[in-house]
A = this chain, B = another copy of it.
Amino acid sequence: MTITVRHLAEWVRGEVLGDGDLPISNARTLAEAQPGDITFVEHDKHLTAWHGSRASAAIVPMSVPVNGRPIIRVADPLMAFVRVVQQLRGRPQEQGPNISPAAHVHPTAKLAPGVSVGPFAVVGEHCEIGANTTLHAGAVIGRYCKLGEDVVLHTHAVLYDECVLGNRVIIHANAVIGADGFGYRVQNGRHVKVPQLGWVEIEDDVEVGACSTIDRGTFGATRIGAGTKIDNLVMVGHNCVIGKHNILCSQVGIAGSTTTGDYVVMAGQVGVADHLTIGEGVTIMAKSGVSGNVAPGARVLGMPARPHREQVRILMTQDKLPEMRRDVMRIKKQLGIVEEE
């Protein structure tokens, strides 16, 4: 498939500078683009990469000057490029809403118009599913679940009984929502299970990554606030209340009953202990371990997590530790201080 720069510019309502008749056959990023490709420049800071790129044309911000190759100026180059890639690769749409005859939908479940259910998906008793929601192959939802509109459950996503999902929630493949929390009591030398009778409530516009797990509350809800995005292999323990617009990167683990404010960011492999309060706007840097409450707006690092600036000073001093040790020994020698046993 070949198309001119001018034609592409029409798709994205951009302004062409340079040769609009140049034919384009593919769309690739700056680093991967080959002659014949169109690419995109997200910010001015990528201009050097654009000059070095083999691409024949680019979609650029309004500020980028012509450099000999044709450009298409737009307000939002990333989203314009997304549109171009989608059109150029042009897979036909999946067939419309459809309940697969190989799915297992309980007769008491209520499905709004436009719901799709893939093969081997299961919808339990008394579930309610909002309009245009899609369950891909093998997605399983237990009894008494409520799903909003435009929800997507990818392949093999699992909802235990009584989970509640808002609108536009996306659950990726093999994620598990609503499994039992990790609650036991010791009785006669055995760990006796505390029944986990609560549920999980996920608000609008949340995305949950592949193989992540969010446990049900013990008696009430584990809650994920609207707009929060959760990466793959993340663990959210029972009774947690996660704020709105949080970012939980891959392999984060949050133990039970912890609360986060809005706009919290946890980088990869962060661990947070149970029953803590993480304030609004907190950033927890990668691999940190948090064992106490964190004040709003703080930026913490390390295990145990300390304020970022403090931790960096400690880390820089650590590099000097062997040298400091030699110094102290020299000083002791010079002062005639004898090593204690």
| Chain B CB within 8 A of A160 CB | yes
Verify if A128 is at the interface (C-beta below 8 Å from B). no
- Asked whether, in the complex, the Cβ of A219 is within 8 Å of the Cβ of B81, the reply is yes
- Asked whether A154 is an interface residue with its Cβ less than 8 Å from the other chain, the reply is yes
Given the known interface contacts A179-B172, A269-B269, A271-B287, the answer about A247 and B191 at a Cβ–Cβ threshold of 8 Å is yes
Is A140 interfacial (CB 8 A cutoff)? yes
Contacts A138-B140, A195-B86, A335-B334 given; does A180 touch B172 at CB 8 Å: yes
Q: Which residue of B lies closest to A86 (CB)?
A: B197
Q: With A and B bound together, what is the CA distance between A307 and B55 in angstroms?
A: 39
Q: Do A229 and B191 touch across chains, with their CB atoms under 8 A apart?
A: yes
A119 / chain B contacts, CB cutoff of 8 Å: 104, 120, 122
Taking the complex as formed, is A66 at the interface, i.e. its CB lies under 8 A from any CB of chain B? Answer: no
CA of A78 to CA of B184, assembled, Å: 11
- The distance in angstroms between the C-alpha atoms of A331 and B334, with both chains bound, is 11
- Distance in angstroms between the alpha carbons of A287 and B271 in the assembled complex: 8
Interface-side segment among A13-21, A46-54, A109-117, A206-214: A206-214
> What is the number of residues of chain A that contact chain B, defined by CB distance less than 8 Å?
106
A72 at the interface (CB under 8 A from B): no
> Cβ of A190 < 8 Å from any Cβ of B?
yes
The number of times this chain is found in the oligomer is: 3
Question: Per-residue 0/1 for A309-322: is the Cβ within 8 Å of any B Cβ (1 yes, 0 no)?
Answer: 01001110111111
Interface SS majority for chain A:
loop
A313 touches B322 (CB 8 A): yes
Q: Is the CB of A304 within 8 A of B313?
A: no
User: Does A243 belong to the interface (CB within 8 Å)?
Assistant: no
Closest to A324 in B: B328
* Min distance, Cβ A44 to any Cβ of chain B, angstroms: 17
> Do the beta carbons of B232 and A251 come within 8 Å of each other?
no
Name the contact of A250 in the complex, choosing from B78, B176, B182, B318 (C-beta under 8 A).
B182
- Contact residues of A between 12 and 53, Cβ < 8 Å to B: 27-29, 32
In Å, the complex CA distance between A170 and B337 comes to 63
CA distance A303 to B303 in the complex (A): 9
B190 contacts A205, CB within 8 Å?
Answer: yes
A3 within 8 A of B: no
Is there contact, CB below 8 Å, between B213 and A210? yes
Decide: A210 and B176 in contact? CB cutoff 8 A: yes
Name A's B-contacting residues (CB within 8 A). 27-29, 32, 78, 81-82, 85-86, 89, 91, 94, 100, 102, 104, 118-120, 122, 136-138, 140, 142-144, 154-156, 158, 160-161, 170, 172-174, 176, 179-180, 182, 184-185, 189-191, 193-195, 197, 205, 207, 209-213, 215, 218-220, 227, 229, 231-233, 235, 237, 245, 247, 249-251, 253, 255, 268-269, 271, 273, 286-287, 289, 291, 302-304, 306, 310, 313-315, 317-322, 324-325, 327-328, 330-332, 334-335, 337
